Amino acid sequence: MIQAIGLTSMPRRNAPPAVADLTFDIRPGEVTGLLGPAGSGKSTALRLLLGLEPGRGATLVDGRPLRDLTHPARAVGALLGDVPGHPGRTARGHLRMLCAAFGLPATRADEVLDEVGLAEVADQRLGTYALGMDRRLGFAAALLAGPRALILDDPVRDLPAREAAWVHALVRRHAAGGGAVLLTGRDSKALARTADHVIVLDKGRLVADQSSAHFARTRMRPFVAVRSPYAQRLGALLADSGAEVIAATGSRIAVYGTNSAAVGETAYRHGILLHHLAEERGDGSAPDDRDPRTGARVETTGTTGTGTDADAGRVPPTPAAPRRHPVRQHGPVHPLRYELRRAFGVLTPWPVAGAALIGSVVSTVLMARAGTGSTPPLRLISGWAARIPLPAAAVGAGALGALAYGQEFRYPALAPGYGPEPRVLRLLGAKLAVSGVCALLLATVAAVADTVALRLTLGPGHAPDLAALPAALAGWAAIAVGCAWAGLLAAGVFRTTALGVAAVLAVPLLVAPAVRGLFGGPVARQLVDAGGALWSVLTGVSQGGGGAARDVLRFAAQPVVSALVLSLGVLICAYVAAALRGRRRRPRPTAARVGRSGPLTSKKG
């Protein structure tokens, strides 16, 4: 049982809220339809229900707040729009990545792919999927954790009749197994056929909460659907006889207040050819409908009207609902496994790494031809020419780090709110570890490739010996890892890959000149001397010792290195601030059940 209590969206400026004081139940073993025209607040209601949008109200699952569940995605599966999967990822890879997030075995992905009929195309790229296949993948993602309830936002939108029938059969099968289903729609006739219970919204307010049978009797007027090449002439004859005729298109009309026999006889008497004649309920072929009690004109869905709470058979909802903010849960259950599947489930990292290695080798060859007599070993093994701000491999490492969060937000496979969060410390640790290892591997391969390029260009005697340059290798590894982490943190703060890479390039171009101006010259030498003296005191070495500490401090005092350290510190603070801003404190309501279908009263604890 899922209970929505007093859901109210946050109004924008002086506009009324899109959803106001909405209270309803989603019962197990039933399909509940949320009906309303475009702009009635259906999608907003679902987002409020799942905690994806700030507002007021509460959502209880079997009497417990949704945010208090250990694994909300195992209680509620949702499909709100199209699947935001990377177009280069396969369906099997996408679902196995989600299996790691939900703590499920990878074999579960194959089970749901077979359940939704995608087993034969599981290894095709998502970018090649048609709309029906993409919608089936959305159902697979929603069913992956085996939820007891499904929340679906207009799942048959733009689908052909065959795919729409498949969707309706799936939700009926889920409800028959004891699950609860809430789906939205604008077609009153189709929703009344599929749902056991119908909830009607008009401008964000509840106007009806009825069984589908009662809804069909009271809110879906019977009419005769007619299709004929002479529909307008027939409509005029029927209107003269007292029937209400509404034209849908040039060849289609809907006739109210009569039956198919009377319409057929009129057409026969006047020699009018009929292509279609059937008695139906709801909007059907008609472009609009009227409320059966007031006669007020409503939208084509026949869903709005002037119903009251008494019509809905419900107690008026309690207005004093607690303030509601987006729910925040923990990250993936297996963050490292998730990050590995996310990073290497697409081809993007490989071209980035390849371009970085090619750029490093080209830069090294150009340096060799220009002369390497006074070039430091660190620049030789990293391909860091004096005229470029950063080595190509370091920029590549920064790009790989930026992709870790840039793709996370561009293709949000994780569901912020009721599911795992993309910006939590556990996932951040996994991303730092994976990007750091990738940066080390990229730096190592670049150093080996640059050394080979120097040997081929200058000869074996003029190339540096990597085994004899541990300090240069350590410095090069530190720069590569620092760039990767800077790109990752910046992309996590700014939610885009481009700004993550821009933050990496800003280190030598903007931050380093500022650091050089503040700490260059005498200040840097004083810091190095002070560090050497402190090392001597701590280790008991004579004043002449402390060479290792001096080397480390001398390396750290370089403008680019100190700028990178400073940038990492600032980005860490910005990342923590962004994460805390999304974790605003929420009150914990206590609810007491009033009746089977009545609302709940909630108080701040």
DSSP-derived 3-state class of residue 428: helix
Q: Would you state the pLDDT for residue 294?
A: 33
DSSP-derived 3-state class of residue 89: coil
**pLDDT average, residue stretch 362-391:** 84
Q: Would you state the pLDDT for residue 426?
A: 87
For residue 209, which of 601, 597, 577 has the smallest C-alpha distance? Answer: 597
Q: Which amino acid is at 528?
A: V
Q: Would you state the pLDDT for residue 250?
A: 78
Q: How far is it, in rounded angstroms, from Cα 338 to Cα 100? A: 5
Q: Which amino acid is at 57?
A: G
Number of domains in the chain: 3
Q: Would you state the pLDDT for residue 572?
A: 93
* Domain membership of residue 463 as a residue range: 335-496
Q: Please provide the average confidence, as pLDDT, over all residues in the chain.
A: 79
- Higher-pLDDT residue of 309 and 388 is 388
Domain termination residue (choose one: 444, 473, 496): 496
Predicted confidence (pLDDT) per residue in 83-128, tens digit:
778 999 999 999 999 999 888 999 999 999 999 999 999 999 999 9
Judge if 34 and 99 occupy the same domain.
yes
Q: Would you state the pLDDT for residue 393?
A: 94
The CATH number given to whatever domain includes residue 266 is: 3.30.70
DSSP-derived 3-state class of residue 76: strand
> Token pair of 183, please?
């789906």
Judge if 124 and 235 occupy the same domain.
no
Judge if 363 and 442 occupy the same domain.
yes
Q: How far is it, in rounded angstroms, from Cα 44 to Cα 22? A: 11
**pLDDT average, residue stretch 32-54:** 88
Predicted confidence (pLDDT) per residue in 483-508, tens digit:
999 999 999 999 999 999 999 999 88
**pLDDT average, residue stretch 444-473:** 86
> Token pair of 353, please?
């790494």
Judge if 244 and 353 occupy the same domain.
no
**pLDDT average, residue stretch 196-222:** 82
Domain termination residue (choose one: 324, 358, 383): 324
Predicted confidence (pLDDT) per residue in 289-303, tens digit:
333 333 333 333 333
Q: Which residues pair with 323 in a beta bridge?
A: 56
Predicted confidence (pLDDT) per residue in 399-416, tens digit:
999 999 999 889 888 865
Judge if 203 and 257 occupy the same domain.
no
Please check whether residue 509 lies inside any domain of the structure: no
Q: Tell me: pLDDT of 206 over 50.
A: yes
Judge if 240 and 185 occupy the same domain.
no
Judge if 126 and 147 occupy the same domain.
yes
- The contacts of residue 169 (CB under 8 Å, 6+ apart) are none
DSSP-derived 3-state class of residue 232: helix
Tell me the pairing of strands 149-153 and 76-80. Answer: parallel
Predicted confidence (pLDDT) per residue in 48-89, tens digit:
998 888 888 888 988 888 878 878 888 899 998 877 789 999
Q: Give the pLDDT band (50/70/90) at residue 373.
A: low
> Lowest mean pLDDT: which of 74-83, 365-374, 413-422, 476-485?
413-422
Judge if 53 and 201 occupy the same domain.
yes
Q: Would you state the pLDDT for residue 72?
A: 83
Tell me the pairing of strands 64-65 and 55-61. Answer: antiparallel
Q: Tell me: pLDDT of 37 over 60.
A: yes
> Token pair of 409, please?
């937000």
Measured between its terminal Cα atoms, the distance across the chain in Å is 23
Q: Give the pLDDT band (50/70/90) at residue 320.
A: very low
Max distance between CA atoms of the chain, in angstroms, equals 120
Q: Give the pLDDT band (50/70/90) at residue 282.
A: low
Judge if 113 and 228 occupy the same domain.
no
Q: Tell me: pLDDT of 462 over 80.
A: no
The full DSSP string for 400-451 is HHHHHHHHHHHS--S-BTTB--SSSHHHHHHHHHHHHHHHHHHHHHHHHHHH
For residue 311, which of 383, 244, 420, 218 has the smallest C-alpha distance? Answer: 218
Residues 481-497 as b/e (b if ≥16 CB within 10 A, e otherwise) read bbbbbbbbbbbbbbbbb
Q: Give the pLDDT band (50/70/90) at residue 550.
A: low
> Lowest mean pLDDT: which of 180-189, 468-477, 538-547, 565-574?
538-547
